[in-house]
Amino acid sequence: MIKIAVMEGDGIGPEIIGGAISILESLIEAEFLYVKAGKRYFHETGLPMEENGIQKIKEADALLKGPVATPIRGKTYPSVNLRIRREFNLYANVRPFRSYKGISLREIDTVIVRENTEGLYSGIEEVKGGGEKAVASRVITRDKSERISEYAFKLAEREGRNRVTAIHKRNVLKVSDGLFLESFYRVAEGHPNIVADDAIVDAAAYKLVKVDKAFDVMVTPNLYGDILSDVAAGVVGSLGLCGSAQIGDDFAAFEPIHGTAEDIAGKGIANPLGAVIASSLMLIWLGERDPLLREKGISLRKAVDDLVDRRLALTPDLGGSSTTAEVINTLLKLVS
């Protein structure tokens, strides 16, 4: 039986992850291992994650998680997300974006493949000059740049896509982004059937907003992928319509890309579709071992698209009036 570790997270996390779990329970036989973590747990215990949390996750085949807050004011703690990425070496952050008529600003069918372990998010920071200067080190290495580029090209081949674009700021960051771009084109030589090109990050953001189907697969250093994901989500029409996968060689974690949205927590109006899309990505990834799971993951994503395209149940962020529970109940009928 499949074992899935579950981290509900903060804010709307328990609501949307609970909805996603009910969908999964209707599709597959699985054991769910709940892991306590985040701001709420920190306030209760003083710990960002339960002491055996990592061990619980290691016992599972995959992790499904909600948004976990890292306080930026007052008493804080190291990012739970960063700890999981480093513990399981989840180097590829994969975020697909797909448009819907009447909701999206542009036609988009793009996958952002974001390097997930280095760049400006390496966490190497220091204060100098008696507190007058703060310095963050941006780390780009050849091996990790080649690894994420290889992942992007293989994803394009696997999904029948024909173009991979490297995103950079080499015109300013000549050494670090220069190394990233050089590594990308070195890997591209091994994939002659895929078009390889590149775009400066600010121009890429503009094209995402202004041009239909501007990109196919985008491969990016960490920070650029983080920012461009929110731009792409805006083009799609809502952060609530986007899920993500964090993938390593032996393990993967899946989550919606939005934050905790604490202002609407408990009101029953949170959009659960990002968590459901993340669940479909999880089933597709698990399908590398069991093709039936892949089929179920694909059918679940089709059900989400059907629900949105036909306006069967939309939460307020999409211009509808449905509750979280109504969206989940509608999806349950579509996948049954």
Stretch 239-254: mean pLDDT: 96
Per-residue DSSP letters for 70-134? --SSSS----HHHHHHHHHT--EEEEEEE--TTT-SS--EEEEEEE-SSBGGG--EEEEGGGTEE
Looking at residue 121, what is its pLDDT?
A: 82
Residue with tokens 């600003």: 105
Cα(104)–Cα(232) distance, integer angstroms: 10
Residue 16 clears pLDDT 70, i.e. is over it: yes
Give the pLDDT confidence of 73-113 residue by residue, as tens digits: 667 777 898 899 999 999 999 999 999 999 999 999 999 99
The answer to whether 271 touches 315, Cβ cutoff 8 Å, is yes
Q: Tell me the one-letter amino acid at 264.
A: I
Name every residue whose Cβ is closer than 8 Å to that of residue 149 and which is 6 or more positions away in sequence: 164, 166, 183, 184, 186, 187, 188, 219
Looking at residue 197, what is its pLDDT?
A: 98
Residue 183 clears pLDDT 80, i.e. is over it: yes
The rounded Cα 279 to chain-centroid distance in angstroms is: 11
pLDDT classification of 177: cutoffs 50, 70, 90: very high
Give the pLDDT confidence of 281-333 residue by residue, as tens digits: 999 999 988 999 999 999 999 999 999 999 999 999 999 999 999 999 999 99
Looking at residue 74, what is its pLDDT?
A: 64
A 10 A CB-CB count for 250 gives 7
Alpha helices in 130-210 (DSSP H): 142-158, 176-188, 201-210
pTM: 0.93
pLDDT classification of 210: cutoffs 50, 70, 90: very high
pLDDT classification of 151: cutoffs 50, 70, 90: very high
Looking at residue 79, what is its pLDDT?
A: 84
pLDDT classification of 224: cutoffs 50, 70, 90: very high
Residue 119 clears pLDDT 80, i.e. is over it: yes
Q: Which of 118-122, 131-135, 181-185, 308-312 has the lowest mean pLDDT?
A: 118-122
- What does the angle CA 240 – CA 109 – CA 289 come to, to the nearest 5 degrees? 80
Looking at residue 120, what is its pLDDT?
A: 87
Matching fold, domains 1-94+242-336 and 105-236: yes
Superfamily of chain region 105-236: Isopropylmalate Dehydrogenase (3.40.718.10)
In CATH terms, the fold of domain 1-94+242-336 is Isopropylmalate Dehydrogenase (3.40.718)
Stretch 154-174: mean pLDDT: 96
The answer to whether 16 touches 324, Cβ cutoff 8 Å, is yes
**Where in the chain are the domains?**
1-94+242-336, 105-236
Give the pLDDT confidence of 185-207 residue by residue, as tens digits: 999 999 999 999 999 999 999 99
Give the pLDDT confidence of 45-80 residue by residue, as tens digits: 989 999 999 999 999 999 999 999 887 666 777 789
